[in-house]
Structure 1
Amino acid sequence: MDQVQRDIVLNIYRASNLLERVGRGLVNDVGLCSVQQWFILGMLYRQGELSLKDLTNNLLVTKQNITGMVQRLKQSGHLTTWEDAGDRRVTRVGLTELGRQKFEELVHSSGLSNKQTFAQYTDEELEQLSAALEKLVVVLQQQSEGKKE
């Protein structure tokens, strides 16, 4: 069973690298610099304005990383930032119309890519894979948080 677990971890890393490669191509096609920028646009598109802290927690990156990524997206006209009205220490982040358009372009192109990628799977297999990966993410988050303390 140990070998199966090692194979799973190796294949997840391999899949992650390949997804990063495919994702880089998709974001480059719409003029973004990284897959992480796509994730930020997507989170704001789905959830509306968020604080920098919320973005940091949801994307599992450091405060320094999110600050730099948000700054670059702001400079390129995809995001806007402002002080929270109730707490001036909190920076809020929202999409501009350009950011919304870029994300919608990515939804379209990634949808086409996903159809090709997952064409060989049944709906049931996709649901099982999704559930298994979600479970793995929860366990890894718990382990990660346990090591911080």
Structure 2
Amino acid sequence: MSLSLGEARQSHTIISFGAASKPTILRTLHPLLQGHTDRTFAEYLSGRSVAVQDKAREKRVCLIYARERAKDAPNAGIAKAYAQTANEVEDELVALLHATRPADPVPFPEPPAASGPQTLDELLEHSAPQVRGLRLASFLRFCTDLLPGGRDVH
């Protein structure tokens, strides 16, 4: 009783009618939710309040559960109901994440390029009073002295 090569291959082929007959009714996950593990999702939520974090984790667990149940459902009606629930929970979770997104930090302006004094000598030269400024200040004092009341004039 020897079997030919073609018959042996056919005898070991497994066909799953349930998986082949089920159409995929689940939509792809929103980009905010794709590829997260429990740890990375917790890190993603870290900038939000504790109440929002708890609500988002709860919604994510419901979403994962509903998607898995939709894949493993025994008939198309149950799969459709779980898929609809998963889609609604996903929409709620995405809306929650968008509504509670932390504000973008205001960028701190970069300091200007080093155009000012760099050494102590240059700094002292730069901060020294200008000769021209002294003459102007002396002239203004002289003018205020000429006014009635002297320097007490406001």
Higher strand share: 1
Question: Larger C-alpha radius of gyration, 1 or 2?
Answer: 2
TM-score, normalised to structure 2, is 0.24
Higher helix share: 1
TM-score, normalised to structure 1, is 0.25
